[in-house]
Amino acid sequence: PLFEAAVKAACADCEILYSNADQDAAKQQQQAEAALTQGAKVLVLDAVDGKSAQTIVANAKGQGVKVIAYDRFVAGSDYYVSFDNKKVGELQGTGLVDALKAAGKTSGDIVMINGSPTDANAADFKAGAHSVLDKSGFTIKAEYDTPDWSPDKAQTWMESQLSAVKSGLVGVYAANDGTAGGAIAALKGGGVDPLPPVTGQDAELAAIQRVISGDQALTIYKAIKPEAEDAAKNAVALAGGGAVTSSTDKDGVPSTLLEPVVVTKDNIMDTIVADGFYKVTDICTGEFAAACTAAGIK
């Protein structure tokens, strides 16, 4: 809705063809081909899989159609808008170390549950996190690249590691909220109590509730509105034969990288609630009401 509203504000005559691939790369390929057949001038592509989506970009370019890579980088695109993904990883790593130090820990084992091995963004999150954790004084005991960002696969892997890492485990780096949820389920199922600090990303509602209850240390909030509005502005420019407005470059693609924000129990009101991303009533449902009150979220 934010993207569509911004396009209509800039170009009342522009038609928007919307498709949702439901995390299915093959389905997204078909949807892109259908959009090209229908005469799309610009594809705004939130790729399911950054590598396979290069075929979509090549097909579009072969027909003279511009491609904006939205949120997930795809090589060869005409423009890329997202958040500074290495910064995301740095913030996650720093937040994990800060949470550990606040708990009086200065050494111990960390496990890393990264994103999909086929996702360029996941590689950036991982690199950013390593830049902090590798010199933190904590030991990265085990590491996993999660196929398809699957929470179930993250949970299964975490379960498989418990016997080896349980005694010395002090923290879990999880690249997003889905993998964090899987890791936390594994830790709880394995009787780990108290839970170690666990990171996340995306500010999913379930993750915000885990942050409030203390099951998750932090998440990363990436405000949708400025990202959608930037994509819309540049899509309209490209559709009209104009140039994009960018602030940087990623692998030869003009880019705009927005600033991510760490969300902890202490700043939920000042970030996601203040932005209208969630209402307090969305967050503070029955079982979380007492934790919300204790955290001053009302």
Whether the per-residue pLDDT at 153 is higher than 90: the answer is yes
Q: Please, which pLDDT band fits residue 56 given cuts at 50, 70 and 90?
A: very high
pLDDT at 222 over 90: yes
Sequence-distant (6+) residues with CB within 8 A of 95 are 199, 217, 218, 262, 264
Specify the DSSP class assigned to residue 198: B
The domains of the chain are located at 2-82+223-258, 85-222+262-295
Residue with tokens 């078909």: 30
Mean pLDDT of the chain: 96
Residue with tokens 């993998």: 179
Q: Is it the case that residue 1 has pLDDT exceeding 90?
A: no
Q: Which residues contact 198 (CB under 8 A, 6 or more apart)?
A: 171, 172, 174, 180, 183, 184, 187, 215, 216, 217
> What's this model's pTM, rounded to 2 decimal places?
0.88
Q: Which CATH class is domain 85-222+262-295?
A: alpha beta
Confidence of residue 297 (pLDDT cuts 50, 70, 90): very high
Protein fold of 2-82+223-258? Rossmann fold (3.40.50)
Structure tokens at 165: 């890492």
- pLDDT tens digits, 97-116: 999 999 999 999 999 999 99
Tell me whether residue 232 is exposed, middle or buried, using C-beta atoms within 10 angstroms of its C-beta: 0 to 12, 13 to 18, 19 or more.
buried
My answer on whether omega of the bond before 117 falls inside 30° of 0, hence cis, is no
What pLDDT sits at residue 126?
99
